[in-house]
Structure formats: C-alpha cells, structure tokens
Chain A
Amino acid sequence: MKRLKINRDYLITYGIVIVFYVIMSILKGTNNLSSLFKGLLVPLCVYMIMAVSLNLTVGILGELSLGHAGFMCVGAFSSAFFSMIMKDSITNPIVRFIIAIIISAVVAAIFGILIGIPVLRLRGDYLAIVTLAFGEIIKNIINILYVGKDADGIHVSFKDAASLGMGEDGKIIINGAQGITGTPNDSTFTIGIILLIISLFIVLNFMSSRSGRAVMAIRDNRIAAESIGINISKYKLMAFAISASLAGMAGALYAHNLATLNALPKNFGYNMSIMILVYVVLGGIGNIRGSVIAAAILTVLPELLRGLSDYRMLIYSIVLIGMMLFNSSSKAEQWKAKFSPAKLIKKHKTVKEAE
C-alpha cells in the first residue's frame, strides 16, 4: 500500500514536468513565445536540474553545500572540451552530445568523490565553508587554464597561451579567462527536459531504495545509523557523488547552449550556488518536486516582470518573502496537506468508486 502511494507521488512529479514541456512546446510551435522567453527555456532546465541535484545534498543527505556551481563548472568545461576536440571526428551532434553529457557526469562525480573524501568528515558550517571555497577555487583555476591541441597532441599551461608551445597547426581550446569559444550549440529544450526527467528518476528512485534509506537515516541520526551497522562515509560519499554528477550534467547542458563559455562569478561563482540554494529552500528542503517548481518560477519571474522595469526586483523580493512565509506557517502546511495533488486524486477516485 505504501509503495503505491510513493509511486503516485512520483508520477505526479513526472506529470508536472511533461505538462510543462507540452505547454511550452505548443507555445513555441505556434510562435506565442517571445524570443527572450525562448532563450530562457534551456537555462530553465539547467536550473531545475541543479535544484534537484542540490536538494539531494541538502535535503536528503542533510549537508549544506555552497559550492554546487563548482561541480556545474567542472561538468560544463569537461563536456565543452570534449565537444571541441571531437567536433570534426564525431559529426552526429546527438551522439556527440550524449557522450559529452556522460563525460560531464563522470568527471563531476570524480570531483565529487575527491572533494567529498576530506569534506564529508566535516560537519555543518565547516562543510559549507569548505564547499564554498571549492567552488571559488575551481572557477579561478579554469580562469588561468590554457589548453591547446596540435598534431603532437594536447598542451596544457597555467601561464598564458604563448607558453603552450604549439606547432603551426595548433588551436587553442581553453583560452584562460576567455574560456571556450565555438562550442557546438547542441542543447535543446527537449534534451533539457529529458535530462531533467533522468535526474528526477535517479534521485526519486535513489530516495526510496536501500541506499537512499541509509543516507536519510544518517541525516536523521548519525549515531543511531552507526549503531545499526550503516557505513556512514560510504553512503555520504555516494549521495554526494550522485549529486555532483547531476550538477555536471546540468553544466554540460549549460555549456552547449552558449557560443562562448567562460567561468565568471555570475555563472559559476558564489552567486549561482546561493541562487540554487534559494530554489531548494523555497521549494522545500527534501521536497524534490517543490524545488523544481521554485526553480521554474524564480527563473521566469524576473523576465516576466521586465516590463515593470524599476519595480521588478521589488516584486521579486516580495514574492520570495511571501513564499518563505507560506512555506513556514503551520496554516499553509494544513492547506497543502488538504489540497495536495495526491490527495485530490485519491478523493476523486473514492468519489468515483462510491458512484
């Protein structure tokens, strides 16, 4: 009986995403979307995946990570680098993009494990500060990284483009602060939504499996989890690595949507990490569906309000405060319980059965 309930809850989450996709596609097909809005569709998917990813770390694992944009950055650059190198060898954009996404996920997961081994020994504030530092370090390293390719192979330098010492045919791929230019534009809204559904699938199924239960047990009570024989470091690291690899995937989607990819404070810095955290907190810590919806609303809202020019940020912040109050009050909890989609469907069914 319990399993049924969980399944229904998951189906609603997938359903919301699919309905959103269909509506957007119809609007796009009938030319009812402004060009500004069209440009927002892929970033929207990026932020929603990031929200799912960070919610795994914050809500399920229970650790505050302030450097999640760092994993996105790793994923973005590794996948863009791959696409640049393979641009001529693999001509099928879909195949190339799929491989790029897998590479981004794997590289980000490796970084997640490397960072996680020392960091997950820390707790609370300390962990938050170290992850914050990690995000900044990654961004700054990318800014001084020069990678070029010529007939001899790949050259790497941390100084400048000239010291790569490439041959005549040499081509710079990562050009320090100027980043990667000319990444193939492979990201589409459809691929974004597919990646979002894959992320949801992985996180939701992980949560209701044996490993996810162990992770949540550790979150709720570490000492008790140890006392029943759960390997704390293993499961913390597992959740962190999965979360990092999803952020890497979001990075790949992000990178292949831009002509020029560079690591700025705006896209991969502290601000980005905090913005994603805002989605998670407002959508509900541990509430995957909520964080996806919050990411969508808070990404679209500033653009919708563009016409109000000066009042735009004022309304944005009022909405933030309103959502926060709504989420924290007990009245709202009751209201949500009463009108939750799962409940409404059940009610509908019982009414039908009664008839």
Chain B
Amino acid sequence: MALLDVTNLGISFGGLRAVDAFEIHIEHGELYGLIGPNGAGKTTVFNLLTGVYKPDTGTIMLADKNITGMKTTMINKAGIARTFQNIRLFKNLTVLDNVKAGLHNNYEYSTFAGIFRLPSYRNTEKAMDEKAMELLSVFDLDGEVNLLAGNLPYGKQRKLEIARALATDPKLLLLDEPAAGMNPNETKELMNTIALIRDKFDMTILLIEHDMKLVSGICEKLTVLNFGQILSQGKTSDVLNDPEVIKAYLGE
C-alpha cells in the first residue's frame, strides 16, 4: 500500500465542480508535484486532504487509515502537515515560539504544571527548545530565534512555515507554492532545502508549484490538474512531454 491513497475525490461549490474524480497514490519517501494552470483546483485538493473542506465523494487513506472527512486538527495528528500559499505564520510570536507551537502535540505537560512551573514544565520546555533549535538550524534560521515571525524577510518566512509544519512530525508534508515570490537564487536554495528535508527527515512531500525549473528539478512524479480534472499523471519526464500538458499548461 502507498502512504497516501486518494481515490475518486471530488467537491462542488454551488454549481461548480471544483475537483472531480481526483486520484493520487504517493509512496513513502517520494517527492511528488501537483501542477496546473491557475484555478485548476490544486489548492482545493490540499484543502480537501487537510480537512479544510469536506469532500462530496471519494476516500483519502493515509498509511492505511481512512481520514476522509476528519477535522483539520485530527488530520494533522494522523500525520499530514502543510504550508500555505499566502503565508500564515503566528506573526506576533517569536520565530522560536512558532516552531514550538508546531511541537504542541509531541511534547505535553498540563496547563497546571505550566502555570506553577513544575519540573515537568521545565524539562519539557527545555526539550522543546532543543528540538526547535535543531529544526531551525536546518533552515538556517537559528540566528533569528527571538525575532517576531512577522518581521522576518519573505523568503525566511516561507522557510519558517516549513519548519513549523515539520515540527508536528508528519508522515506527509504538503507544500503550497513554496517558491512563490522568490528570486531564482532563493528558489535554487529552496530546491536544495526541500531535497535535504526529504533525505534528513525521511519525509514524503507533495508540492504545488508553478516554477517548472523547481518541479522538473526535484519531483519524481507529477499530476497535472486542469479545470478540476486530472490531465496527466506519472513520471515527471513523461508528464512534461505529454502533448496535452504542453497544450494546456506549458505552452508550445
């Protein structure tokens, strides 16, 4: 069985069939790309996978567990973490606290222990600090731990969002346009980081991206969406040479 098995997924908004008969099978450790023109339904697929929307049809299986229709919070606990197209950080918290918020479910102590500073508070917070610093250093953010997240430059905000998602210790990481708004150098750096995450954390990644250089550079498999339907699916090189894909998305 694949890590993520999605079959016949669909949702309508009013009369519009935003996503229809969507299927995807992602194996453990794969780097998978989801591409397509604007409005094709890529982000809607992400919202369906993370429980922001409830699908009308279809099932989502994560590691043999049916997570269809579960709440966002529960889906994250089941093992899917994501980033957002328009960055959603906790702007008034520090960089460190953003990651520690991500560690919320993996390091527990009671509110009572927190208020009265019991030993479980001190020990757990210390372990959280260490874990958070470890994650931040992967993204080269360990110099800015005490800065408010809202004051970080754009590229670093994107990285911090990935670090926060990874802090929840997911099985599958969804990245929604991680390279949006980045210059070519930053994009290149990001490519390396994504590849590094996959290797270092043994992570499975599904990403939405418009930057074809990034997609063809790191994704092993691709799914192309157009008007809510799958246009093409398979190995990156095959998909990118598919005449349908070239016509609808890449341009001749």
Q: Which of A's residues lie within 8 Å of B, judged by CB?
A: 1-3, 5, 201-202, 205-206, 209-214, 216-217, 219-221, 223-232, 238, 286
Interface residues of B in 118-137 (CB under 8 A from A): 121, 124-125, 128
Q: Are A209 and B121 in contact (CB under 8 A)?
A: yes
Q: Which of B7-15, B71-79, B177-185, B231-239 contacts A (4 or more CB under 8 A)?
A: B71-79
Q: Among B90, B111, B117, B167, which residue has its beta carbon within 8 angstroms of that of A216?
A: B90
Q: Are B109 and A229 in contact (CB under 8 A)?
A: no
Interface bits B46-62 vs A (CB < 8 Å: 1, else 0) = 00001010000000000
CB of A13 to closest CB in B, whole Å = 16
Interface residues of B in 81-107 (CB under 8 A from A): 81-82, 84, 88-94, 96-97, 100-102, 104-105, 107
The complex places the Cα of A225 from the Cα of B84 at a distance, in Å, of 12
Specify the chain B residue showing the minimal Cβ separation from A226.
Answer: B72
The complex places the Cα of A225 from the Cα of B105 at a distance, in Å, of 12
Q: Are B91 and A210 in contact (CB under 8 A)?
A: no
Q: Among B52, B77, B113, B145, which residue has its beta carbon within 8 angstroms of that of A223?
A: B52
Given contacts A210-B107, A221-B89, contact A227 B114 (CB under 8 A): no
CB-CB under 8 A from B109, the residues of chain A are 210
Q: Among B52, B73, B115, which residue has its beta carbon within 8 angstroms of that of A231?
A: B73
Chain A to chain B: the 7 pairs with minimum beta-carbon distance, closest first: A209-B114, A229-B76, A220-B90, A224-B88, A226-B72, A211-B111, A217-B101
- Interface centre among A1, A212, A230, A286, by most chain B C-beta atoms within 10 angstroms, is A230
Query: Could you write out 17 A-B pairs with CB less than 8 Å apart?
Result: A5-B146, A205-B117, A206-B114, A209-B114, A211-B111, A213-B104, A216-B92, A216-B93, A217-B93, A220-B91, A226-B72, A227-B72, A228-B76, A228-B167, A228-B168, A232-B73, A286-B92
The answer to the question of B164 belonging to the interface, with a C-beta cut-off of 8 Å to chain A, is yes
CB-CB under 8 A from A225, the residues of chain B are 90, 101
Q: Are A221 and B88 in contact (CB under 8 A)?
A: yes
CB-CB under 8 A from A5, the residues of chain B are 146
CB of A304 to closest CB in B, whole Å = 35
Interface residues of B in 149-170 (CB under 8 A from A): 164-165, 167-168
Number of interface residues of B (CB under 8 A): 43
Q: Are A224 and B90 in contact (CB under 8 A)?
A: yes
Q: Are B114 and A211 in contact (CB under 8 A)?
A: yes
Q: Among B108, B111, B128, which residue has its beta carbon within 8 angstroms of that of A206?
A: B111
Q: Are A224 and B84 in contact (CB under 8 A)?
A: yes
CB-CB under 8 A from B121, the residues of chain A are 209
Q: Are B92 and A220 in contact (CB under 8 A)?
A: yes
The complex places the Cα of A149 from the Cα of B111 at a distance, in Å, of 39
Given contacts A206-B115, A214-B101, list 4 more A-B pairs with CB under 8 A: A213-B104, A221-B89, A224-B90, A226-B76
CB-CB under 8 A from A2, the residues of chain B are 94, 96, 145-146
Specify the chain A residue showing the minimal Cβ separation from B94.
Answer: A2
Specify the chain A residue showing the minimal Cβ separation from B100.
Answer: A213
CB of B165 to closest CB in A, whole Å = 7
The complex places the Cα of A230 from the Cα of B73 at a distance, in Å, of 6
Specify the chain B residue showing the minimal Cβ separation from A238.
Answer: B111
CB-CB under 8 A from A221, the residues of chain B are 88-91
Specify the chain B residue showing the minimal Cβ separation from A218.
Answer: B90
Given contacts A211-B114, A217-B93, A220-B92, contact A228 B145 (CB under 8 A): no
Q: Among B113, B115, B164, which residue has its beta carbon within 8 angstroms of that of A202?
A: B115
Q: Are A228 and B114 in contact (CB under 8 A)?
A: no
Q: Are A227 and B81 in contact (CB under 8 A)?
A: yes
CB-CB under 8 A from B165, the residues of chain A are 227-228
CB of A14 to closest CB in B, whole Å = 14
Given contacts A2-B94, A229-B77, contact A213 B101 (CB under 8 A): yes
CB-CB under 8 A from B73, the residues of chain A are 226, 229-232
Q: Among B88, B89, B105, B145, which residue has its beta carbon within 8 angstroms of that of A229?
A: B105
- Interface centre among B102, B114, B117, by most chain A C-beta atoms within 10 angstroms, is B114
CB-CB under 8 A from B84, the residues of chain A are 223-224, 227
Specify the chain A residue showing the minimal Cβ separation from B84.
Answer: A224
- Interface centre among A206, A210, A212, A232, by most chain B C-beta atoms within 10 angstroms, is A210
Q: Are B97 and A205 in contact (CB under 8 A)?
A: no
The complex places the Cα of A224 from the Cα of B89 at a distance, in Å, of 7
- Interface centre among A219, A226, A286, by most chain B C-beta atoms within 10 angstroms, is A226
Q: Are B117 and A229 in contact (CB under 8 A)?
A: no
Given contacts A224-B90, A227-B72, contact A213 B97 (CB under 8 A): yes
CB of B229 to closest CB in A, whole Å = 26
Specify the chain B residue showing the minimal Cβ separation from A223.
Answer: B88
Q: Are B76 and A227 in contact (CB under 8 A)?
A: yes
CB-CB under 8 A from B167, the residues of chain A are 228
CB of B217 to closest CB in A, whole Å = 27
The complex places the Cα of A219 from the Cα of B97 at a distance, in Å, of 14
Q: Are B93 and A210 in contact (CB under 8 A)?
A: no
Q: Are A210 and B90 in contact (CB under 8 A)?
A: no
The complex places the Cα of A286 from the Cα of B168 at a distance, in Å, of 27
- Interface centre among B113, B115, B128, B165, by most chain A C-beta atoms within 10 angstroms, is B115
